[in-house]
Chains A and B, each alone.
Chain A
Amino acid sequence: MSELPKARIATASLAGCFGCHMAILDIDERLIDLMKLVDVDRSPLTDKKRFTQRCDIGIIEGGCCNEENVHVLHDFRRNCDVLIALGQCAIMGGLPAMRNAIMHSDAPLRECLDEAYITGKYIRNTTHHVPNDPALPLLLDEVYPCSQVVEIDYQIPGCAPSGDIIFDTLAKLLTGKFRGFERDMIKFD
């Protein structure tokens, strides 16, 4: 393993809860082995905001709920050879995507924002306005799974995925041995 040149990986959290990034830490002491194989480029784990060079693997947590998510995802697709959707939100929208289905009106986005900031039962918002700072990215009409926005090479299921499946998959991908998941590792929750 150690003879191989180190691979570069990058990670990002889009519309997710950061739980999948926490799950990466669940790899525990094997992180030391993993770090022998990889250098981490752009990632919240390194606090690097930009790609310093092209990466071998990009890992995406979360789906796309706003324009910035799309922008970041595009950037990752352009700068990574292999793109992995990590966890249910990246794979199928996850909890944020519940808004796709629970809105009833003809203007679901309006309804969603009103419910979240003005009319919701437990809202205390003295401004009675939906926040609209120019720095806030625009929301998308729906929450999209990553695979609808860019081509995704692999998906690691779970909410969050176990440290085992993340380690196993990365280790196998990096050594060219990935042939699919062990069945007992596949969990959608």
Chain B
Amino acid sequence: MENGHKTGNGVAAPACEVAKVPEEEIAAICARYGCDKHRMLDILREVQDRYRCIAPSTMDRIAAGTGLTRIEVEGVASFYSFLSLVPKGRVTIRLCDDIVDRYSGLDAVTAVFEEVLGIRTGETSADGAFSLETTPCIGMCDQAPAAMVNDVVLTRLTPETARSAAEALKAGQSPEQLVSERFASLTPHERALHMVGNNIRHAGEVLLGPVPEDAGLSNAVSMTPAQIITTVEESGLRGCGGAGYTTGRKWRFAASERAEKHFVICNADEGEPGTFKDRVLLTERPHLLVEGMTIAARAVGAREGILYLRGEYVYLRELLEQVLEERRRRGLLGEAILGVKGFDFDIRLQLGAGAYICGEEGALISSCEGLPGEPKTRPPFPVNRGYLGYPTVVNNVETFCHAARILDRGAKWFHAMGTEGSHGTKLFSICGDCLNPGIYELPYGHTVRELLEMVGAEDAAAVQVGGPSGTMIARDSFHRKLTFDDLATGGAIIVFNGARNILEIVEYYMSFFVHESCGYCTPCRVGNVFLQKAISKFRKGLANPEDIDYLKELSGTIIETSRCGLGMTSPNPILSTLKNFPLVYSAVSKPSKDGIRDTFDIQSAIDGARKIAKRRSYIFDKDFTQ
């Protein structure tokens, strides 16, 4: 992905050309969300879905409807990838442009879509029927290449299946019809499984084995909040999203904060490239997740919760809405849960709109509040002052599911699994160059080598543990263990064989971080662009040995001065490959001779002028007379 800095900042984007949206329709959409500015993301998503564009005049009306200024609305609308200030096609095809998809034949699939639809990637067809785009990892790496077609997901694309899909769309079929002719008669769960496979390769004892219905919640209602928190603390459960903060302690802090309201938020914004474990839990264990959230609500005294679902998982929306509705009907959500007076809790679903940064706790809260997904200043921490300023517990999908199981089976049961400091099981989403990509639920403590044997990847040459913000290790580190203290991961394990180009992978990951940086702080906004440019110099053979020090120094500044976890980890693809694959860099860098930089490419610098002047260079073309 190009960072497109120059063009992006160039001539102003053309104004939205679609017909003006009737004022009363915008007013009605705002009214549906209580004209609440904190529901801005919902409002904008709905406008985008309906009118395929958020035009300046529309922003004026939304601003009027919610009591904001237009620039505030524009700030939100221009932040999220799935919202657009220029008109998009009635059908928007978003090809997943992850490195794993690229290695699975994305190019051929893209070529077919471009050919059949008659537009290039990044374009919208003249008749407004189609837009073709790329998007970072959509969480389907075990069935790549994949694409979103409006709210529908297509997986395991081949040039053949891509052609038939594109032709069907062109012939007027709906995206849903691509999934199944009987789409309308399928249940939400069936629809999800028609689109996306679970690929559960190994079910463990905690999450993916047999799980009794609401056993944890039943226990929790007979316990005091303090007892619940103690149980979770004693289990040793740590956050499964990547950061690994002790869950019980987080709940304790939030519970001890005196406030009018408390909130529980589930982070289902699984965006780390190569991670797709929460997708499977949301599909197969949605009740367990909501049960866990409900238990957390009892523990911290929250009456309201939010399930923040990443925009890429919009195909799971109706499944989750149905689960919430069913639980309300069964008295498991709403007032007096399980008949316990005063135990009131309900959850609203908040959909994201294409922003990796929203997986960061503070950014996720900002997004829930209807703001651009920018991390918040710490302190105060969310447990003290989070959503709308109230104490808020934010946990990952898997963490809530674990908590529900701990309340069912007890802290000791969970604590006994795994290793010291890393208790219980963990879902690993494994993809890339292996025979059996998919989900593996395993206790902490397995070595990378053991994992690779399980997935059929004995020829692995490099493994990216924890996604791009994690660590890239080489064969000499395959003995290392998957624990919080050794190789920590939110679940992503991406396998690369010896034929893959490490620098290509690193360059892709840096372009990912450039795309996903929120831009709030200087080092992350600017520094990552510099890193990306430096890596591309290496790839072009235009780097010299001192550029290796430059990479290290610049990475150091970004890590040390960035405001949130994104910038504190974005140089990791570079730093971990410099450490574990040093030859990859030294082999392509060449020293300057006599202080003259080989990295300055005179031939490409004069090429344009040569063509315009229609003559060769006296100085730099030896055969200039020809």
Answer yes or no: A and B touching, Cβ < 8 Å.
yes
* A contact set with B: CB distance below 8 Å: 66-68, 70-71, 74, 77-78, 83, 104, 107, 109-110, 113, 130, 132, 134, 136-142, 144, 148-151
CB <8 Å contact, B595 and A151: yes
Q: A70-B602, A113-B612, A140-B609 are in contact. Are A104 and B11 (CB under 8 A)?
A: yes
Q: Is the interface of A mostly helix, strand, loop or mixed?
A: mixed
Residue B592, interface by CB 8 Å: yes
- 7 examples of A-B residue contacts, CB within 8 angstroms: A70-B605, A78-B595, A134-B615, A134-B618, A141-B606, A149-B596, A151-B597
Given contacts A70-B602, A140-B606, contact A150 B620 (CB under 8 A): no
CA separation between A4 and B605, bound complex, in Å?
Answer: 43
Chain A residues near B607: list those with CB within 8 A.
Answer: 141
Known: A68-B619, A70-B602, A138-B617. A77 touches B609 (CB 8 A): no
Residues of B within 8 A of A149 (CB): 596-597, 600
Identify the 3 closest CB pairs spanning chains A and B, nearest first. A138-B609, A151-B595, A140-B605
Q: Is the CB of B595 within 8 A of A109?
A: no
- A8–B571 Cα distance when bound, in Å, is 45
The chain A residue with its CB closest to the CB of B11 is A104
Nearest CB on B from A52, distance (A): 19
Given known contacts A66-B609, A141-B606, what 20 new A-B pairs fall within 8 Å (CB)? A67-B605, A68-B619, A70-B600, A70-B602, A70-B619, A71-B620, A74-B596, A77-B596, A78-B596, A83-B595, A132-B614, A138-B613, A141-B608, A141-B609, A144-B600, A144-B605, A148-B597, A150-B596, A151-B595, A151-B597
Whole-angstrom CA separation of A35 from B11 in the bound complex: 53
Tell me, rounded to whole Å, the shortest Cβ–Cβ distance linking B530 to chain A.
Answer: 14
User: For B595, what are the chain A residues with a Cβ–Cβ distance below 8 Å?
Assistant: 77-78, 83, 150-151
Cα distance, A72 to B504, chains bound together (Å): 36
Instruction: Known A109-B609, A110-B612, A130-B612; judge A67-B602 contact (CB<8 A).
Output: yes
Question: Contacts A77-B595, A150-B597: A139 and B10 contacting too (C-beta < 8 A)?
Answer: no
- Report the bound CA distance from A134 to B602 in whole Å: 19
Cα-based distance from A150 to B602 in the complex (angstroms): 12
A-side contacts of B614, CB under 8 Å: 132
Closest B-chain residue to A114, C-beta based?
A: B612
Residues of the A chain whose Cβ atoms lie less than 8 Å from the Cβ of B599: 148
What is the CA–CA distance of A62 and B74 in the complex, to the nearest angstrom?
42
The residue on B at minimum CB distance from A132 is B613
User: Chain A residues near B181 (CB, 8 Å)?
Assistant: none
Measured CA separation A57–B418 after assembly (Å): 66
B residues contacting A by CB (< 8 A) are 10-11, 592, 594-597, 599-600, 602, 604-610, 612-615, 617-620
Instruction: Name the one of B592, B600, B619 contacting A71, with C-beta atoms under 8 angstroms.
Output: B619
Which B residues lie within 8 Å of A140 (CB)? Answer: 605-606, 609
Of the candidates A67, A104, A148, the one whose C-beta lies within 8 Å of that of B606 is A67
Complex: how many Å from CA A107 to CA B611? 11
Which residues on the B side are within 8 Å of A148 (C-beta)? 597, 599-600
Q: Which residues of chain B are within 8 angstroms of A74 by Cβ–Cβ distance?
A: 596
Complex-state Cα separation, A130 to B610, whole angstroms: 13
A105 to B433, CA, bound (A): 42
Say how far A95's CB is from chain B's closest CB, in angstroms.
Answer: 19
Give min CB distance, A179 to chain B, whole Å: 22
Contact A138 B606 (CB under 8 A): yes
CA of A83 to CA of B595, assembled, Å: 10
Q: Which of A68, A113, A136, A138 sits near B610, CB closer than 8 Å?
A: A138
Smallest distance from the beta carbon of A98 to chain B beta carbons, Å?
A: 14
Which A residues are CB-close (under 8 A) to B10? 104
Greatest chain B CB density within 10 A among A74, A109, A138, A139 is at: A138
* Residues of A close to B605: CB separation below 8 A: 67, 70, 140-142, 144
Contact between chains at A151 and B592 (CB < 8 Å): yes
CB neighbours of B617 from chain A (8 A): 67, 138
Residues of A within 8 A of B602 (CB): 67, 70
A83-B595, A149-B597, A149-B600 known; A137 and B612 CB under 8 Å?
Answer: no
Task: Report chain B residues within 8 Å CB of A77.
Answer: 594-596
Give CA–CA (A144, B605) in the complex, Å: 10
Chain B residues near A144 (CB, 8 Å)? 600, 605
Q: How many Å lie between the Cα of A88 and that of B620 in the bound state?
A: 27
Closest to A149 in B: B600
Instruction: Chain A residues near B620: list those with CB within 8 A.
Output: 67, 70-71
* Nearest chain B CB to A182 CB, angstrom units: 26
User: A80: shortest Cβ distance to chain B, in Å?
Assistant: 9
Residues on B with C-beta less than 8 A from A110 are 608, 612
CA distance A51 to B251 in the complex (A): 75
Query: Which B residues lie within 8 Å of A109 (CB)?
Result: 608-609, 612
| Chain A residues, Cβ within 8 Å of B609 | 66-67, 109, 138-141
Q: How far is the CA of A154 from the CA of B613 in the complex (A)?
A: 36
A137 in contact with B619 (CB, 8 Å): yes
Chain A min CB distance to B366 (Å)? 33
Give the shortest distance, in Å, between B13 (CB) and chain A (any CB): 14
Q: How far is the CA of A72 from the CA of B493 in the complex (A)?
A: 52
- By beta carbon, the residue of chain B nearest A77 is B595
State in angstroms the CA–CA spacing of A104 and B10 once bound together.
7
> With the chains together, A77 CA to B620 CA distance in Å?
17
| Closest beta carbon of chain B to A75's beta carbon, Å | 10
CB neighbours of A139 from chain B (8 A): 606, 608-609
**Identity of the chain B residue whose Cβ is nearest the Cβ of A106 in the assembled complex:** B7
Distance of A141 Cα from B75 Cα, bound (Å): 35
Complexed CA–CA distance, A88 and B544 (Å): 25
The smallest beta-carbon distance between A93 and chain B, in angstroms, is: 13
A67 to B621, CA, bound (A): 11
In the bound assembly, the distance between CA atoms of A113 and B10 in angstroms comes to 20
Chain B hits for A130, CB < 8 A: 612
Query: Which of B605, B610, B617, B620 counts the most chain A CB atoms within 10 A?
Result: B605
Residues of B within 8 A of A136 (CB): 613
- A149 vs B598: C-alpha distance in the bound complex, in angstroms? 8
Residues of chain B with a CB closer than 8 A to A134's CB:
615, 618
* Nearest CB on B from A154, distance (A): 13
